[in-house]
C-alpha cells in the first residue's frame, strides 16, 4: 500500500487523432486543444468564483450547439476560460480503451503546457505551439520541434471533473433533485416517527383498556360477559314493560289480582272473580302488546303466565 | 475523476426515499389495524362496564337500596344481604306503600331475579323480592 502511494502516475495527451492507447493503469489526462474551447480574457472582477458565473455568456456566441461545461482559472491578471463537452471527452476516452476508474485527473493542455517555447512535439504525430499565450495544435507537416516528456511535467491544480451524465441532466438540476429528495425523505421520516409514536401509544392503550376498567383480560371473555349482561338487560326491560301492562289493566269491583310471582323468568298472575268480559279485555291487551302468555281457568281463579 | 457521480447520489436518495416510504406505509397500515382493534375494544369496554355497574355493582346497589328504605313508611321491609343477592321482604305491608316502593325499585336498573306479591286483605299485601348483584 505504501509502495502504491508513492507510485508515479503516467500522463497521457488525449486527442482524437493521437495513436490508440490501451491502458490498464491509473493515468492523468491532458486534453488536446481540439477537445475544448478557450478564451484568454481580462475581466473587471477579481475572483475566479465571480468569473465562473459569467462563463456561459462569454461563450454564448462562439460555441456550436452542445452541452457544455465551463472552467476558469486566473494567471496574473488574465482569466483563461474553457468550455468543453464531457460526453465528447468521455466517449473519446472509452474509444481509446481508457476506463473512467483509471483516470486520476483531467487537465487542459493550456494550463499544463503553457511553459513551452516554439513548436513542441507532443507525441509521434502531433505538435503544439503557444500563440499569444494560447496553446494551439499544429498540423503534421510543420517541421519537428523538440519532444516534451509528459511524465516529467509537474501538473497544476487546474483539473476538471467530467460529468458522466452531464448531457442528460446538468449539475444544477441534479442538486435541485437532491434537495427535493432530501426534503421528501425528511418529511416522510418525520411522518414515520410521528406515526410510529402514535402506534406505540395506541398499542399500550389498547393493551391496557380492559385492565383499566377492571374487566377480563381477553376480548373473548368480555364478549361472553357482554352477552350475559345484554340478556339480563333485555329480560329486566321486558319485566318492567309487563308490569306496566298489568298496572294498566282495568278490573271491575269485586275482581282482584290475588298474587303475582316472578320465578325462573316466568311472571305468573292469579286473578279471582274475573268475569268473561274482563278476561277478554285482558287477553286483548296482551295480544295487542305482543306479549307471550298462557292462560288457565280454575274454579274461581284465572291464571295468566307471561314468559320473559 | 474519483469523485462520486452526483447521479449515483440522486439514485441513492431515491432508494432511501422509496425505503422510508415503504416503512411509513407499513406503519400506517399497522396503525389503521390497531385503531380498528382499539375502537372495538373501547366499544366492548363501555358496554360491559356500563352494564356491569348497573347490574353487578353490589356496593352501589346496596347503598341505593338502603337509601330507598330510609323512609319511615317502608320500615317494615326486611333486608337480607347474601353473597350474590339482596332479599327484600315484608310479611304485611300497606298496598300504597308497596306501590310507592315498587315504583322506585322498577325505575332503577336492578336485576330482579324473583318477586312475590300476595294479597292479604283489601289494604295489606305480603311482599318478597330477590335482587341479584
Q: Interface pTM (ipTM) of the complex?
A: 0.82
User: pLDDT at residue B87 above 80?
Assistant: yes
Question: Is A229 in CB contact (< 8 Å) with chain B?
Answer: yes
Q: How much of chain A exceeds pLDDT 70, in percent?
A: 92
Task: Tell me whether residues A185 and B34 touch, CB distance under 8 A.
Answer: no
Contacts of A258 in chain B (CB under 8 A): 118-119
Q: Decide if A228 contacts A251 (C-beta within 8 A).
A: no
Task: Tell me whether residues B117 and A243 touch, CB distance under 8 A.
Answer: no
Instruction: With cut-offs at 50, 70 and 90, classify the pLDDT of residue B45.
Output: very high
Q: What is the CATH number of domain A234-307?
A: 3.30.1360.100
User: pLDDT at residue A264 above 60?
Assistant: yes
Instruction: With cut-offs at 50, 70 and 90, classify the pLDDT of residue A1.
Output: very low
Task: Tell me whether residues B17 and A188 touch, CB distance under 8 A.
Answer: yes
Which pLDDT belongs to residue A144?
62
Rounded Cα gap, residues A28 and A13, in angstroms: 9
Contacts of B133 in chain A (CB under 8 A): none
Tell which of A29, A163, A164, A185 to mutate to test the B interface (max B CBs under 10 Å): A185
DSSP state of A33: G
* pLDDT one-digit tens code per residue, A143-153: 666 777 888 88
Contacts of B40 in chain A (CB under 8 A): 219
User: pLDDT at residue B71 above 90?
Assistant: no
CA-to-CA separations, A7 to A3, A105, A159, B3, in angstroms, rounded: 6, 15, 20, 20
User: pLDDT at residue B33 above 60?
Assistant: yes
Question: B129 vs chain A: nearest CA distance in angstroms?
Answer: 9
User: Whole-number mean pLDDT of chain A?
Assistant: 87
Outline where DSSP puts E strands in chain A: 10-14, 27-31, 36-41, 69-75, 78-84, 103-108, 119-121, 127-131, 134-138, 146-147, 159-160, 256-263, 266-272, 293-297, 301-307
Most confident of A49-58, A151-160, B18-27: B18-27
Instruction: With cut-offs at 50, 70 and 90, classify the pLDDT of residue B3.
Output: low
How many CB contacts within 8 angstroms connect chain A with chain B?
A: 140
Instruction: With cut-offs at 50, 70 and 90, classify the pLDDT of residue A2.
Output: very low
Question: Is A91 in CB contact (< 8 Å) with chain B?
Answer: no
Q: A105: which strand partners?
A: A28
| Low-confidence winner among A61-70, A123-132, A206-215, B78-87 (lowest mean pLDDT) | A123-132
Which pLDDT belongs to residue A20?
56
Give me the phi and psi of A183, to 5 degrees please: -65, -40
User: pLDDT at residue A223 above 90?
Assistant: yes
Rounded Cα gap, residues B99 and A255, in angstroms: 19
Residue of higher predicted confidence among A171 and A101: A101
Question: B116 vs chain A: nearest CA distance in angstroms?
Answer: 4
Q: What is the mean pLDDT of residues B82-88?
A: 92
Q: Is A305 helix (H, G, I), strand (E, B) or coil?
A: strand
Instruction: Check the CA dihedral A141-A144-A150-A154 and report its sign.
Output: negative
Give me the phi and psi of B50, to 5 degrees please: -65, -50
Task: Pinpoint the residues of chain A covered by CATH 3.30.1360.100.
Answer: 234-307
| Burial of residue B88, with CB atoms counted within 10 A of its CB: 0-12 exposed, 13-18 middle, 19 or more buried | buried
Question: Is A203 in CB contact (< 8 Å) with chain B?
Answer: yes
Which pLDDT belongs to residue B30?
96
Question: Is A171 in CB contact (< 8 Å) with chain B?
Answer: yes
User: pLDDT at residue A174 above 50?
Assistant: yes
Contacts of A105 in chain B (CB under 8 A): 1
Task: Tell me whether residues B10 and A185 touch, CB distance under 8 A.
Answer: no
Rounded Cα gap, residues A117 and A127, in angstroms: 12
Say if pTM beats, i.e. exceeds, 0.80.
no
User: pLDDT at residue A3 above 70?
Assistant: no
A27-31 vs A103-108, strand pairing mode: parallel
Task: Tell me whether residues A219 and B41 touch, CB distance under 8 A.
Answer: yes
CB neighbour burial string for A200-235, b if at least 16 within 10 angstroms, e if fewer: eebeeebeebbeebebeeeeeebeebbeebeebbee
Rounded Cα gap, residues A15 and A34, in angstroms: 7
* pLDDT one-digit tens code per residue, A30-66: 999 999 999 999 988 888 889 988 998 999 888 888 8
Rounded Cα gap, residues A141 and A16, in angstroms: 18
Task: Tell me whether residues A103 and B1 touch, CB distance under 8 A.
Answer: yes
* pLDDT one-digit tens code per residue, A278-292: 999 999 999 999 999
Q: What's the full length of chain B, in residues?
A: 133
Which pLDDT belongs to residue A155?
87
Contacts of A262 in chain B (CB under 8 A): 112, 114-116
Task: Tell me whether residues A169 and B7 touch, CB distance under 8 A.
Answer: yes
Amino acid at each position: 500500500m505504501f509502495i502504491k502511494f508513492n507510485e508515479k502516475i503516467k500522463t497521457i495527451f488525449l486527442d482524437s487523432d493521437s495513436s490508440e492507447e490501451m491502458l490498464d493503469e491509473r493515468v492523468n489526462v491532458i486534453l488536446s486543444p481540439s477537445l475544448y474551447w478557450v478564451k484568454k480574457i481580462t475581466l473587471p472582477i477579481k475572483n475566479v468564483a465571480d468569473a465562473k458565473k459569467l462563463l456561459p455568456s462569454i461563450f454564448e456566441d462562439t460555441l456550436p450547439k452542445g452541452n457544455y461545461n465551463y472552467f476558469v482559472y486566473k494567471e496574473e491578471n488574465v482569466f483563461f476560460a474553457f468550455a468543453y463537452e464531457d460526453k465528447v471527452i468521455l466517449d473519446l476516452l472509452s474509444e481509446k480503451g481508457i476506463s473512467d476508474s483509471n483516470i486520476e485527473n483531467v487537465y487542459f493542455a493550456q494550463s499544463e503546457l503553457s511553459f513551452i517555447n516554439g513548436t513542441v512535439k507532443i507525441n509521434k504525430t502531433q505538435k503544439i505551439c503557444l500563440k499569444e499565450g494560447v496553446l494551439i495544435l499544429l498540423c503534421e507537416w510543420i517541421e519537428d520541434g523538440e519532444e516534451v516528456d509528459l511524465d516529467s511535467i509537474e501538473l497544476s491544480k487546474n483539473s476538471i471533473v467530467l460529468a458522466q451524465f452531464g448531457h442528460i441532466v446538468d449539475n444544477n438540476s441534479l442538486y435541485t433533485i437532491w434537495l427535493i429528495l432530501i426534503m421528501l425523505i425528511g418529511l416522510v421520516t418525520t411522518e414515520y416517527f410521528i406515526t410510529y409514536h402514535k402506534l406505540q401509544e395506541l398499542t399500550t392503550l389498547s393493551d391496557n383498556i380492559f385492565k383499566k376498567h377492571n374487566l377480563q383480560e381477553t376480548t373473548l371473555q368480555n364478549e361472553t360477559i357482554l352477552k350475559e349482561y345484554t340478556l339480563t338487560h333485555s329480560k329486566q326491560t321486558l319485566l318492567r314493560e309487563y308490569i306496566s301492562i298489568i298496572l294498566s289493566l282495568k278490573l271491575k269491583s269485586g275482581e282482584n289480582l290475588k298474587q303475582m310471582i316472578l320465578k325462573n323468568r316466568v311472571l305468573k298472575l292469579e286473578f279471582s272473580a274475573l268475569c268473561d268480559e274482563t278476561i277478554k279485555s285482558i287477553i286483548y291487551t296482551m295480544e295487542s302488546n305482543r306479549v307471550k302468555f298462557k292462560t288457565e281457568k280454575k274454579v274461581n281463579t284465572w291464571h295468566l303466565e307471561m314468559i320473559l | 475523476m474519483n469523485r462520486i457521480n452526483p447521479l449515483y447520489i440522486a439514485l441513492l436518495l431515491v432508494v432511501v426515499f422509496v425505503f422510508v416510504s415503504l416503512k411509513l406505509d407499513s406503519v400506517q397500515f399497522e396503525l389503521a389495524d390497531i385503531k380498528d382493534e382499539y375502537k372495538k375494544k373501547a366499544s366492548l369496554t363501555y358496554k360491559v362496564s356500563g352494564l356491569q355497574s348497573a347490574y353487578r355493582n353490589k356496593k352501589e346497589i346496596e347503598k341505593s337500596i338502603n337509601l330507598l328504605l330510609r323512609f319511615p313508611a317502608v320500615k317494615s321491609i326486611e333486608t337480607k344481604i347474601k353473597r350474590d343477592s339482596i332479599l327484600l321482604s315484608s310479611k304485611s305491608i300497606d298496598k300504597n306503600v308497596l306501590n310507592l316502593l315498587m315504583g322506585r325499585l322498577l325505575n332503577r336498573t336492578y336485576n330482579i331475579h324473583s318477586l312475590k306479591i300476595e294479597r292479604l286483605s283489601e289494604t295489606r299485601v305480603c311482599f318478597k323480592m330477590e335482587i341479584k348483584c
